[in-house]
Amino acid sequence: MNGRYAPRIHAERQAIRLDAVSGRFDAWLLLCVLALTSVGLVMVASSSIAMAEARGLGPLYYFYRHVLSVLMGMGVMLALMYRCDIRQLEKYSRWLLLLAFVLLLLVWVPGIGHSAKGARRWLNLGIINFQPAEAVKLIFIIWMASYLSRFSDEVKGSWLSMLKGLGAAALLSIVLLAVQKDFGTTVLLLATAALMLVIGGVHLPRMIMPVAMLIPVLIWFVVREAYRMDRLRLWLNPWEDPFGDGYQLTNALMAVGRGELWGVGLGGSVQKLNYLPEAYTDFILAVLAEEFGFVGVCVLIALYALLVSRILWLGLQCVQMRRYFPGYLCFGIAMWMAMQTFISIGVNIGLLPTKGLTLPLVSFGGSSILMTFAAMGLLLRVSWELERARRQVALRREMTLQGRAAAQVPEVAATPAPTPAPRPSGDEDLAQEPQRPAPMTTLWQRLNGWLSQSGPRHEAPRQRIEPSFGNGGQP
């Protein structure tokens, strides 16, 4: 009975040992997040003082709000790091996509939706005004990663499967443009979808036709709005109207130029003194360039490059371990971070037309901070589960080797021992003594052989003793 249940008990013990294995968070990724967050705290405090005083809110009003957003974001990040199950996240990805559409439409519900600066993009949550478009970015990446992991072969070989991914992005983009007039997030969403499909295995020539069909639609959305055409025209020559529609860009360029190589020092910016609008949000990089110069901007770009490269490396490690959903999730978040950072920096230095995209983890903005920290929490959870899987694989190999070694011991012991010499006694009870177990016999033979080799070489003459048959010693 014990032999029957032994394999099952052994398997249960192995499962308990594997479940007890813990993972480890990626230290480099966490350090990048903390470093960028620290830069953001310093720059928001420096760039928002003049604006807060001008509005009669106290010099550190926006800084305190930013600290509150960071603390809430860190709480979300820690919750996802320690409590989120990536497999469950993949399971509910379709419901999350439905939630994204609901959030975009909630802005039109009276009492919940909130409009500012001519656009209805915010939800009034009491403590903060939440922008659903920020959540849509992360939710769409989660859904796309799940879609690619489930239908990878179909996406590579079928037009319809490929168009489903682009169709979801296009539908979200139409809602964003029609309901919230958020052109920047629309372009970011479509670009992220296209890049994730390419990473998922779609051949580039097959992407040409869908992209060619979307470009005229985007151009039409630009042309139909006069303010977008003005932004495009003044982007080409902002000095045409430096005190009108080109005011933001010209002041941003002056701030960048004034910083030169080393900057004017922390707190020494002039453009943040109510000259540069949105100095603590969309144009915070211009203030950083003025105060820390070209060197400071290069250090910031290096931090973002390290962050994105680490996320890509994490995704590659997941794919090598055949963990495709976490891998695609990492790739999508890396594309999101890289493109949004590039667009924000490009707007600040005049490389791209003016758009309202924040600098991740640095700019002031509760919604952006919350969702970026949520994305970082998911990535850190992925790194923990990946390290745990590696340790489990190593432990399983170790247990397999131990099992093989243990299985070889009975095979060696099961070899038949040589027949013992006849006993020099006629005692039948001693003749019927049970044979010793094989391992002990083998051990006795080894010990006897060692003693015979290490003992003296001379032997006493042996006397032949005939066996007894129980009749008085007569044969």
Domain boundaries, the chain: 20-394
Closest residue by Cα to residue 138 from 73, 201, 83 = 73
Whole-number average pLDDT of the chain: 81
**CA 115/CA 132 separation, integer angstroms:** 13
Reported as a single tens digit per residue, the pLDDT across 417-442 is 555 555 444 444 434 444 444 333 44
**CA 76/CA 191 separation, integer angstroms:** 27
Query: What pLDDT was estimated at residue 278?
Result: 86
**CA 152/CA 464 separation, integer angstroms:** 84
Q: For residue 45, what pLDDT band results from cuts at 50, 70 and 90?
A: very high
Query: What pLDDT was estimated at residue 99?
Result: 92
Reported as a single tens digit per residue, the pLDDT across 224-234 is 877 778 888 88
Average of per-residue pLDDT across 41-65: 93
> Percent of the chain beyond pLDDT 70?
80
Average of per-residue pLDDT across 24-32: 94
The residue behind tokens 């003005």 is 230
Q: What are phi and psi of 192, to 5 degrees?
A: -65, -40
Sheet holding 119-124, edge to edge: 113-116, 119-124, 129-130
In this model, does residue 468 exceed pLDDT 50? no
Quote the pTM value: 0.80
Cβ atoms of 131 and 121 closer than 8 Å: yes
The residue behind tokens 């100095």 is 279
**CA 267/CA 46 separation, integer angstroms:** 6
3-state secondary structure of 1: coil
In this model, does residue 394 exceed pLDDT 90? no
Reported as a single tens digit per residue, the pLDDT across 284-299 is 999 999 999 999 999 9
Q: Can you name the residues that pair with 124 across neighbouring β-strands?
A: 129
Alpha-carbon distances of 61 from 53, 133, 280, 345, 464, rounded to whole Å: 9, 25, 12, 25, 110
Query: What pLDDT was estimated at residue 318?
Result: 94
Helix extents (H) in 321-365: 324-348
In this model, does residue 240 exceed pLDDT 50? yes
